[in-house]
């Protein structure tokens, strides 16, 4: 009942090791399955 929001499955990025949703492009490094999918600007 308290489960109104479905939490995505959280996995760990194989590239950067940050927690990220499974089967999704990693928001931290922009990689998915070893491919650069997103261009992530480095934070200052
Ligand atoms: Zn990553």
Q: Residue 33 C-alpha to ligand 1 middle, in angstroms?
A: 10
Taking the centre of ligand 1 as the mean of its atom positions, its distance from the CA of residue 2, in whole angstroms, is 30
Residues lying with their CB under 5 A of ligand 1, a single-atom ion? 13, 15-16, 26, 28-29
The pLDDT of residue 17 is 93
The predicted structure's pLDDT at residue 6: 74
pLDDT for 1 equals: 60
- Residues contacting 34, CB < 8 A, separation 6+: 14, 15
Could you tell me the distance, in angstroms and rounded to a whole number, from the CA of residue 7 to the centre of ligand 1? 19
Question: Could you tell me the distance, in angstroms and rounded to a whole number, from the CA of residue 1 to the centre of ligand 1?
Answer: 33
Digits of tens for pLDDT over the chain (44 positions)?
666 777 668 999 888 999 988 888 999 999 988 899 999 887 77
């Amino acid at each position: 009942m308290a489960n109104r929001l479905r939490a995505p499955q959280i996995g760990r990025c194989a590239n950067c090791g940050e927690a990220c949703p499974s089967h999704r492009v990693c928001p931290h490094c922009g990689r998915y399955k070893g491919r650069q999918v997103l261009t992530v600007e480095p934070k200052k």
